[in-house]
């Protein structure tokens, strides 16, 4: 399953590779209403059911099996790459220093209209970011001293 989340709604997509069927939900509002910062119970429940789909789903009914997505026809030109050419060494983290440890200089703007929970999260993030930065500097200094 895949959960797609936008600024105000989410969708769920499930692909059954055995029957080549792609299912997509309707859009589900994230929040209780347009002015609320409270997540809707529906969105929470849909996400929870999606994450735990193996425990609650028994497979496709015959009615849905006839709606093919034609994935293999659409992906015909590239499917060989996935079936034969990908190797474990091709899928890994980068050794490029800028990607491994990118500098983080996020300055959150805390407005008077922001919900208290969001303010607290931004403040905690700033503290964590600052402590990570200090730890990184200490490690770099000890590495330099040992060299």
Quickly state the pLDDT bin for 137 (edges 50, 70, 90). Answer: low
Average pLDDT for residues 92-121, to the nearest whole number? 58
Mean pLDDT of the region 21-41: 91
Residue 113 pLDDT level (bands cut at 50, 70, 90): low
Distances (CA, A) of 135 to 102, 107, 125, 130: 15, 19, 15, 9
Question: Which pLDDT belongs to residue 24?
Answer: 94
3-state class (DSSP) for residue 29:
strand
pLDDT of residue 4 exceeding 90, the answer is yes
Q: What are the pLDDT digits (tens) for 47-92?
A: 999 999 888 888 888 998 999 999 888 888 888 887 777 766 555 5
Neighbouring CB atoms inside 10 A of 32's CB total: 14
Q: Does the pLDDT value for residue 107 go beyond 80?
A: no
Closest CA to 16 of 88, 68, 92: 68
Task: Say what the pLDDT of residue 27 is.
Answer: 95
What is the pTM assigned to this prediction? 0.52
């Amino acid at each position: 399953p895949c959960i797609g989340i936008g600024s105000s709604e989410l969708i769920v997509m499930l692909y059954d590779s055995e029957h080549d069927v792609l299912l997509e939900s309707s859009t589900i509002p994230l929040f209780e209403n347009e002015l609320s910062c409270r997540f809707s119970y529906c969105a929470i429940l849909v996400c929870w059911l999606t994450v735990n789909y193996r425990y609650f789903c028994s497979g496709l009914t015959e009615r849905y099996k006839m709606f093919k997505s034609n994935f293999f026809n659409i992906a015909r030109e590239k499917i060989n790459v996935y079936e034969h050419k990908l190797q474990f060494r091709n899928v890994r983290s980068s050794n490029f220093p800028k990607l491994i440890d990118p500098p983080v200089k996020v300055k959150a703007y805390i407005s008077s209209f922001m919900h208290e929970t969001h303010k607290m999260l931004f403040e905690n993030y700033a503290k964590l970011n600052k402590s990570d930065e200090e730890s990184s500097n200490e490690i770099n200094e000890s590495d330099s001293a040992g060299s």
